[in-house]
């Protein structure tokens, strides 16, 4: 089953919904950064928009947080609206007739009421996502058979990474194809003994890096998670030029 994507301006506000979805066995990715990338893509080349749309194919549904204004959704709809995934507006209560009309005029054809029981949430999702669960094998990885360093936009990738994400990638590059344990990564990132909080943050960092790899046109599967051991970057990737800051 493909994961679900929550686009928001405030991650804290989405924690309850994220936990409920995970309780129902949905994998969930919640992002502020991807929302900003989507907004920025409206002013960039068509290739950037195409890349983002291909990335979104990895999700069975996109949930639009109440933190996103209607005017922003209207501008993003050309990118977000597709028959390949569900597009749901997050609401606190079931919309009345007038509110339904406003949603339809906005271009959003469906919604998700979250301030209800988890049973109600489960039944909503079962009904609303049924049309998008017919083909679960079509996970998209960009440029699967191409030279990843020729096809991807290295400058875009470098500029998109935060300092900790850059440090993580540097650490993986320097391992030259060997597994880097989460404990070792924590030591590099925080210069102290690993704790549960730091260990969980490494997983989030890797997910964000893989997202940015794909948006920049690289195969995100160049980074592998080795369960119980750590992470590994495909040997030879970026070794010649990635460590040079721009």
Model pTM above 0.85: no
What separation, in Å, do the N-terminal and C-terminal C-alpha atoms of the chain show? 39
Output the pLDDT for position 193. 84
CATH of 4-130, one of 3.40.50.2300, 3.10.310.10, 1.20.1250.20, 3.40.47.10: 3.40.50.2300
Taking only the tens place, the pLDDT of each residue in 90-103 is: 988 888 888 888 88
Best CA proximity match to 51, nearest among 169, 222, 198, 214? 214
In angstroms and rounded to an integer, the radius of gyration of the C-alpha atoms of the chain is 19
Taking only the tens place, the pLDDT of each residue in 175-219 is: 888 999 999 999 999 988 888 888 888 888 898 898 888 887 788
C-alpha 205/C-alpha 209 separation (Å) is 6
Where in the chain are the domains? 4-130, 154-242
C-alpha 226/C-alpha 239 separation (Å) is 21
E strands, 35-114, in order:
61-64, 86-91, 111-113
C-alpha 241/C-alpha 52 separation (Å) is 25
Domains 4-130 and 154-242 share a fold: no
Domain 154-242 has CATH 1.10.10.10: yes
* Burial grade of 216 (CB within 10 A; 0-12, 13-18, 19 or more): buried
Taking only the tens place, the pLDDT of each residue in 2-53 is: 889 999 999 999 999 999 999 998 889 999 988 988 888 776 666 567 778 8
Output the pLDDT for position 98. 87
* Burial grade of 35 (CB within 10 A; 0-12, 13-18, 19 or more): buried
């Amino acid at each position: 089953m493909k994961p679900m994507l929550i686009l928001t301006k405030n991650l804290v506000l989405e924690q309850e919904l994220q936990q409920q979805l995970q309780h129902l066995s949905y994998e969930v990715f919640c992002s502020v950064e991807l929302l900003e990338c989507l907004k920025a893509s409206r002013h960039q080349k068509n290739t950037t928009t195409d890349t983002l749309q291909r990335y979104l194919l990895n999700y069975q549904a996109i949930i639009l947080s109440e933190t996103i204004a209607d005017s922003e959704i209207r501008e993003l709809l050309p990118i977000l609206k597709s028959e390949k995934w569900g597009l749901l507006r997050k609401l606190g209560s079931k919309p009345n007739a007038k509110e339904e009309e406003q949603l339809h005029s906005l271009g959003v054809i469906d919604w998700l009421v979250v301030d209800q029981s988890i049973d109600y949430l489960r039944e909503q999702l079962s009904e609303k996502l049924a049309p998008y669960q017919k083909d679960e094998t079509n996970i998209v990885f960009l440029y699967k058979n191409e030279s990843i360093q020729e096809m991807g936009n290295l400058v875009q990738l470098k500029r998109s990474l935060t300092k900790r994400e850059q440090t993580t990638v540097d650490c993986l590059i320097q391992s030259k194809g060997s597994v880097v344990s989460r404990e070792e990564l924590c030591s590099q990132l925080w210069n102290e003994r690993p704790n549960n909080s730091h260990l969980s943050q490494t997983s989030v960092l890797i997910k964000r890096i893989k997202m940015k790899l794909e948006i920049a046109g690289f195969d995100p599967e160049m980074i592998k998670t080795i369960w119980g051991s750590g992470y590994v970057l495909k040997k030879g990737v970026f070794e010649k030029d990635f460590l040079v800051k721009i």
